[in-house]
Amino acid sequence: MIYNRIMIFGLPGSGKSTFAVHLAHQLNLPLYHLDKYFFVKNWIERDNEEFLSFQQKIINQSQWIIDGNALGSLEMRYARADLVLYFCSSRPLCFGRLIKRRFFKDKSIQDRAINCPENLRPRLIKYMWTFDKRIQPLLTKLHNSYPTTPFYKIRSSTDLEEIIQTFSNLSSAKKHNN
């Protein structure tokens, strides 16, 4: 199976942006980090209609990797995706990564809007800590609405390694057939 439209979402600090960058390089697909477009600057949210219009332009393309949550528009991405990856590592692990990212941001991952520096606000911690509980009803709805869309939960490094191996095999097969 060749995946051309991959949606990645999940808990802050779960590794989704890091994986998205890796996957975009491996599969040679355009990558869009939603936080770059959701915020204007200084963590001020963009106008919702403008943000939705931007996303619509992306998902209408034939190839993309979209990294980010934006739960209010999750379905528009899910409906077009060939593959959905849900990163849901343990909350303590995600919290530790948020702390690490605050002080040691990987500069190769350009997933933030201009003038939106890494921070560790209580709002972000609460968002991360309650994410699973809030997303479950929406996931149930999406699974029922799009039952044929492949969906994988990435809960651990073992799950992540399995997905990486799958994409390595797909990438090798693609190169071999060209």
Asked if residue 137 belongs to a domain, the reply is yes
What is the mean pLDDT of the segment spanning 42-70? 90
pLDDT at 63: 96
pLDDT at 92: 87
Residue 113 has pLDDT above 80, yes or no: no
What CATH number does the domain containing 113 carry? 3.40.50.300
Asked if residue 34 belongs to a domain, the reply is yes
- CA-closest candidate to residue 171, choices 67, 23, 30: 23
Asked if residue 178 belongs to a domain, the reply is no
**Nearest-angstrom CA–CA distance, 136 and 32:** 24
Asked if residue 48 belongs to a domain, the reply is yes
Helix (H) or strand (E) run with residue 66 in it: strand 64-67
Asked if residue 40 belongs to a domain, the reply is yes
What is the mean pLDDT of the segment spanning 38-57? 86
Parent domain of 148:
5-156
How does pLDDT run across 128-165, given as a tens digit for each residue? 899 989 999 999 999 999 999 999 999 988 888 888 78
Asked if residue 13 belongs to a domain, the reply is yes
> Environment class of residue 112 by beta-carbon count within 10 Å: exposed (0-12), middle (13-18) or buried (19+)?
middle
Helix (H) or strand (E) run with residue 31 in it: strand 31-33
Buried b (16+ CB within 10 A) or exposed e, 22-36: ebbeebebebbbbbb
- pTM, full prediction: 0.86
Provide the 3-class DSSP secondary structure of residue 108. Answer: coil
Instruction: Look at the chain and report how many structural domains it folds into.
Output: 1
Query: Cα 133 to chain center, whole Å?
Result: 18
What is the mean pLDDT of the segment spanning 24-52? 86
Provide the 3-class DSSP secondary structure of residue 17. Answer: helix
